[in-house]
A and B are shown apart, each in its own frame.
Chain A
Amino acid sequence: MSPDAPIRSMIEVKGLCKTFNGVHVLRNLDATINKGEIVSIVGPSGAGKSTFLRCLNLLETPDDGHIYVDGVDVDKMDVRKLRMKMGMVFQQFNLFPHLSALENIMLAPTSLRKTPKAEAKEQALELLDKVGLSGKAWAFPWELSGGQQQRVAIARTLAMNPEIILFDEPTSALDPTMVNEVLGVIRSLADEAGMTMAIVTHEMRFAREVSDRVFYMDQGVVYEEGSPEQIFDRPKRDRTRAFIRRVDTVRFEINEDDFDFYRFDAQLDDFAMKHLLEPERRQLLIDVCEELFDNFFFTFVHQLSFALGITEKREVELRFTYGGPEVNPMVDDSGASLFARAIIKKNASEVDFERVGDENVLELVIPNVKTV
């Protein structure tokens, strides 16, 4: 993108809302992606990143809000025309199993654009060459590795000459050994001028290298956006910072009716073992959870979500998200046991309570014992 080109928005999203079974996945989301811009979308799982992407090409129907593509409201566009303009690459590749790599790529141009077959074939072979698979024209999806399948899927999307490509976690289903070949192809596309791309990814280093701009999404909104340097090196807002520092997270959806504490305990244990947490902190985690669940949360909510993260500094972060009235367990008359409050106060270096929409968010940070 040359710096003096006039900046024009390719995608403009205003007040986008989407609810699944009463859960607010997107809450009044606003975002703009400019023409020719590469935007990476990062954030914790459950933040609504994929849903946001899927709303853009109307694979999900938004409940509320407006999406403008090239200045036109998508509600007023033919969905098929929109999708021809906006390609999508999926986490699960989704190659058509009855067609060879070549035919997978040719299918849409010959059927939808009525491109003559010979021409479509030539183009398909060029695209295969471009993604480094010119020898696999007649290979069927089951004969290709995951990385090769994803590259064919990218070529298939490119065959429709889209102006925008949406990548929905393109490397999440891949073996670690195959991630780089796919990222390489995306990177080379990003280097070509003109293409607008939105990439949902967990590959932070890749996002940093390839993007013009990064969206950090959390709890259904673009929580913070900025240049890669700004988001990754100097995040302004708390949760962005917490997310960027975190090296691993695990998430539990807890329902009182079928909550199995021994299983939960085992999963916590697995996570702790993986990150070589000390036995003291492991036991502390379990104690805190047990106290909060039984004596506090379950007295007024049936379900809550619990995210556990480890940061680069080996801090343990706990985040509880629960519905119901605004109740902070750290307040004296909240109903939480004294013991719970006591151990939290004694061990947590940070305790944050926040009311987001109609949900309560409680964040605790348990510092690395050695540094305390």
Chain B
Amino acid sequence: MRALASKIVGSDSSPLVTRRRNWFFFVLFAVVFVVVASQGCDKGVKPPVHSLKDLNKPRLVVGGEEGTLSFRRAQEAFPLAEVRPFADGDELLVALKEGSIDAVAYDRPYLDYYAAVDPDYFVLPDFVGKGFISVGAPQSQRELMKRVNEFIEIYRSELSYDEMCNNWNGAFKPVESSSPSAYQDMYERWFKAYGTRLPVIPEPENPINPGRPYVIGVATDNAPAGFQDEDGDASGFEIEFVKRLALFLNAEVTIISDEYDNLFPELMDEKLDLALGMLDRTPDRESLVLFSESYIDSPAAVMILQNRYSYEPVASVSYAGAGAALTVEDMTFVQRMKRSFEKTFIVDNRWKLFVDGLTNTIYITVVATVLGTLMAFVQCYMRRSKRTWLRYPAQIYIAIMQGTPILVILLVLYYVVFTRLKISGELVAAIALGLNFAAYAGEQMRTGVDGIDKGLLEAARALGFGRFDVFRKVIFPIACRRIMPVYKGEFISLLKSTSIVGYVAIQDLTKASDIVRGRTYEAFFPLIATALIYLITAHMLASGFAYLEYRLNPVTRRRRAKGEVSV
């Protein structure tokens, strides 16, 4: 017995020495926290913008109108920046003035107009993208697409008026006789002078396909390219385009008044022979459907505040990168997976989106956990207090937090409570999730503390410990170890509930996968990949907690003290 005892005395790895290493982990955690927190907070500095390139940086925000072409364009052009959707154009201008966004992506004509009215605005001279607005067709319609391209080639060439008028069944006959070409005639009509009615364009007299019309879907939720006029009839630039195309093809057509979102699925299902809707030709889409040449220049431009601008030209973003040579049906499973993987992660460096998203997710989780834990302490203290004026507010708080969906709390904080304060969306999300976390973690702490035998506290007091020391030396270590398993569960569920922050325009992991999904038109790969990333992250973080549990287990301390284990 004596020998063993003296061995313990002489041992270097006594529990009191090793406890110092806990400080190391604490400091490490603190450093990580500070670094992560500083990432979220350095929004004060606004770097000058020389060119579009300068906007494509993490933590810059480009606003756009939800569902517009320019918005989608901006998402593609600024993969590293946050492209934040707004419900309407006026909000965009307000946000730009207030400085909550760095730039507005919108149609060039509008932006020019705003800049002319208000000298605070400045429109960057470069377009976002070159306008690859194309007609889409299923991959089986190569022959038809050739003819469509012939039509576009002629229509965009600068042929003389006579050549236009007298050939190709009158397909290119301008309505305004003074116009130099059909394209300019149409562009002026639809994009410079709104409210125009559809001109009368005759149908082919002897169609080549009587009774078997081409089915052409046109998005009519997309004025002025396609819309429904006051009589409910399809009208707009693209309707006129299709009617002229029918003349050129000398073919019967049926125009389907469609929604933008349906066009691609219907093309892929071959329900449509052709589709128009200001469709952008992108490499992702090219691997799924056929695209014609561009039939219109629809520049999206970017507007910033005058005082942020310093001129330096850059080349516009190019879409060179070509589509796949093989069609989907020709590929083996492995090839398809490989292609999906490349589309999801490699093309346009999309992995960066995932990395940024994951960084955001972890940042929000960590900040929310730290915040929530601190609040949980306070709440636990208040709930256990004998004073009703401390206990009741805590009870009410818990009732509210446990009875309200976390998403609603997030929206309330983002759109109501913190609207005026210039704090980052990530921080708002972390606060919302932290508040929610506190309500649950605090109650767990309370049960953990309440469950401690009162006799232990008495024993500690009888030894001469004061209130605070009783807490520090007895209550805290015992409760900590008891709470750890449920606390870990709460932490993991917090990590997972960060997936809702996309609702307030934060690019977390889920949102990143949404964006990629929106570009590749593939659901399987991005979603499964995202699920896996969550799974792995959750388990890595959980294993951190498992280690903590292991270290908190007093038996570990004994084994370390006896030199049975080294960690």
Taking the complex as formed, is B561 at the interface, i.e. its CB lies under 8 A from any CB of chain A? yes
Residues in A neighbouring B478, C-beta threshold 8 A: 96-98
Are B554 and A140 in contact (CB-based, < 8 A)? yes
Query: Taking beta carbons and an 8 Å cutoff, which residues of A are in contact with B?
Result: 57, 59, 80-81, 83-84, 87-88, 90, 92, 94-100, 102-103, 107-108, 111-112, 117-118, 121-122, 125, 128-129, 134-135, 137-138, 140, 153, 156-157, 160
Q: Decide if A108 touches B474 in the complex (CB within 8 Å).
A: no
Q: Is the beta-carbon distance between B465 and A80 smaller than 8 angstroms? A: yes
Please determine whether B554 and A99 come into contact, CB atoms closer than 8 angstroms: yes
B455 to chain A, nearest CB (A): 4
A129: B residues at CB distance < 8 A: 1-2, 5
User: Which residues in B have their C-beta under 8 angstroms from that of A87?
Assistant: 462-463
Could you list 20 further interchain pairs (A-B, Cβ under 8 angstroms) beyond the known A97-B456, A112-B463? A80-B464, A83-B463, A84-B463, A87-B463, A88-B462, A96-B459, A98-B478, A99-B554, A100-B554, A107-B463, A108-B463, A112-B465, A117-B16, A125-B5, A125-B8, A134-B1, A134-B4, A140-B558, A153-B459, A160-B463
User: Chain A CB within 10 Å — which of B2, B5, B466 has the most?
Assistant: B5
Q: How large is the interface on B (under 10, 10 to 19, 20 to 34, 35 or more residues)?
A: 20 to 34
Q: Are B555 and A90 touching (Cβ within 8 A)?
A: no
Cβ B8 vs Cβ A111 within 8 A: no
Question: Please, which residues of chain A bring their CB within 8 A of the CB of B459?
Answer: 88, 90, 94-96, 153
**Residue B562 is within 8 A (CB to CB) of chain A in the complex:** yes
Q: Which 4 A-B pairs have the closest CB atoms?
A: A94-B459, A84-B464, A88-B462, A94-B455
Q: CB-CB < 8 A to B463: which residues of A?
A: 83-84, 87, 107-108, 112, 156-157, 160
Given known A-B contacts A59-B462, A112-B463, A138-B562, A98 and B469 have beta carbons under 8 A apart: no
Cross-chain contact of B8 among A90, A95, A138 (Cβ < 8 A): A138
Is B257's CB within 8 Å of the partner chain A?
no
Contact B14 A121 (CB under 8 A): yes
Q: How far is the CB of A115 from chain B (nearest CB, A)?
A: 12
B453 at the interface (CB under 8 A from A): yes
- A346 to B: closest C-beta gap in Å: 49
- Is B455's CB under 8 angstroms from A92's CB? yes
User: Do A122 and B9 form a contact, CB below 8 Å, given A100-B558, A138-B561, A140-B554?
Assistant: yes
B421 CB, nearest partner CB in chain A, Å: 43
Which residue of A59, A128, A134, A135 contacts B458 across the interface (Cβ within 8 Å)? A59
Within 8 Å CB of B6, what residues of A?
A: 125
* Distance in angstroms between the alpha carbons of A108 and B15 in the assembled complex: 16
Bound-state CA distance A59–B465 (Å) is 12
Pairwise interchain contact B453-A94, C-beta atoms closer than 8 A: yes
Q: Hey, which chain B residues are within 8 Å of A94, CB to CB? A: 453, 455-456, 458-459
* A242–B5 CA distance with the chains assembled, in angstroms: 50
- B265 contacts the other chain (CB 8 A): no
Q: Are A83 and B9 in contact (CB under 8 A)?
A: no
CA A108 to CA B477, docked complex, whole Å: 15
B548 CB to nearest chain A CB (Å): 14
A84 cross-chain contacts in B, Cβ below 8 A: 463-464
List 28 A–B pairs whose Cβ atoms lie within 8 Å, in order of A's numbering: A57-B462, A59-B461, A59-B462, A80-B464, A80-B465, A80-B466, A83-B462, A83-B463, A84-B463, A90-B455, A94-B456, A94-B459, A96-B459, A96-B460, A100-B557, A108-B463, A111-B465, A111-B469, A112-B465, A112-B469, A117-B16, A121-B8, A134-B1, A134-B2, A138-B561, A138-B562, A140-B558, A160-B463
Interface residues of B in 445-484 (CB under 8 A from A): 453, 455-456, 458-466, 469, 473-474, 477-478, 481
A282 to nearest B CB, angstroms?
38
Return the CB mask of B540-567 against A: 1 if under 8 Å, else 0: 0000000000000011011001100000
The smallest C-beta distance from A82 to any residue of chain B, in angstroms, reads 8
A132 → B minimal CB distance (Å): 9
Instruction: Select which of A90, A108, A118, A135 is within 8 A of B464 by beta carbon.
Output: A108
Cα distance A107–B465 when bound, in Å?
10
Cβ of B474: which chain A residues have Cβ within 8 Å of it?
96
User: Which A residue sits closest to B480, measured CB to CB?
Assistant: A98
Q: Are B8 and A135 in contact (CB under 8 A)?
A: no
Q: Which residues of A contact B465 (CB under 8 A)?
A: 80, 108, 111-112
Complex partner residue of A83 from B453, B464, B477, CB under 8 angstroms: B464
Residues on A with C-beta less than 8 A from B462 are 57, 59, 83, 87-88, 90
Name the CB-closest residue of A to B16.
A117
- Asked, given contacts A59-B462, A92-B455, A108-B465, whether A103 binds B5 with beta carbons under 8 Å apart, the answer is no
- B15 touches which one: A81, A103, A111, A112 (CB < 8 A)? A103
Q: With A and B bound together, what is the CA distance between A118 and B11 in angstroms?
A: 11
Q: Please name all residues of chain B whose beta carbon is closer than 8 Å to the beta carbon of A111 when the two chains form the complex.
A: 465, 469, 473
Q: Which of chain A's residues have a CB closer than 8 A to the CB of B15?
A: 103
Please indicate the chain A residues that have their CB under 8 angstroms from the CB of B466 in the complex: 80
In the complex, A80 Cα to B14 Cα: how many Å? 29
- Complex-state Cα separation, A118 to B461, whole angstroms: 24
Bound complex: CA A134 to CA B4 (Å): 8
User: Are the C-beta atoms of A135 and B455 separated by less than 8 Å?
Assistant: no
Cβ–Cβ < 8 Å partners of A134 in chain B: 1-2, 4-5
B132 smallest CB distance to A (angstroms): 67
* Shortest CB distance A114–B (Å): 12
Q: Is the CB of A81 within 8 A of B464?
A: yes
Complex Cα gap A36–B462 (Å): 20
CA gap between A84 and B462 in the complex, in Å: 8
From residue B454, how far is it (CB to closest CB) to chain A in Å? 9
Given A90-B455, A94-B456, A98-B478, is A128 in contact with B461 using a C-beta cutoff of 8 Å?
Answer: no
- Of B8, B456, B464, B555, the contact of A96 (CB 8 Å cutoff): B456
**A128:B464 contact, CB within 8 angstroms:** no
Give the shortest distance, in Å, between B7 (CB) and chain A (any CB): 10
Which residues of chain B (1-58) have a CB below 8 Å from chain A? 1-2, 4-6, 8-9, 14-16
In the complex, what distance in Å separates the CA atom of A57 from the CA atom of B460? 12
A140 to B5, CA, bound (A): 16
Q: How far is the CB of B172 from chain A (nearest CB, A)?
A: 88
Q: Report the minimal beta-carbon distance from B479 to chain A, rounded to whole angstroms.
A: 10
Q: What distance in Å separates the Cβ of B205 from its nearest Cβ neighbour in chain A? A: 95
Distance in angstroms between the alpha carbons of A102 and B555 in the assembled complex: 13
Interface contact B469-A83, CB-CB below 8 Å: no
- Given known pairs A87-B462, A90-B459, the reply for A140 and B2 (CB within 8 Å) is no
CB of B459 to closest CB in A, whole Å: 4
Residues of B contacting A138 in the complex (Cβ-Cβ under 8 angstroms): 8, 558, 561-562
- Distance of B128 from chain A, by nearest CB (Å): 61
Q: Which residues of B contact A103 (CB under 8 A)?
A: 15
Residues of B within 8 A of A117 (CB): 14, 16
> Bound complex: CA of A92 vs CA of B459, how far in Å?
10
Distance A22 CA – B557 CA, assembled complex (angstroms): 48
> Across the interface, which residues of A come within 8 angstroms of B481, CB to CB?
98
A83 touches B5 (CB 8 A): no
Question: What separation, in Å, do the CA atoms of A294 and B131 have in the docked complex?
Answer: 102
Contact: A137 with B16, CB < 8 Å?
no
B559 to chain A, nearest CB (A): 9
A98-B453 Cα distance, complex, nearest whole Å? 13
A157 to B460, CA, bound (A): 10
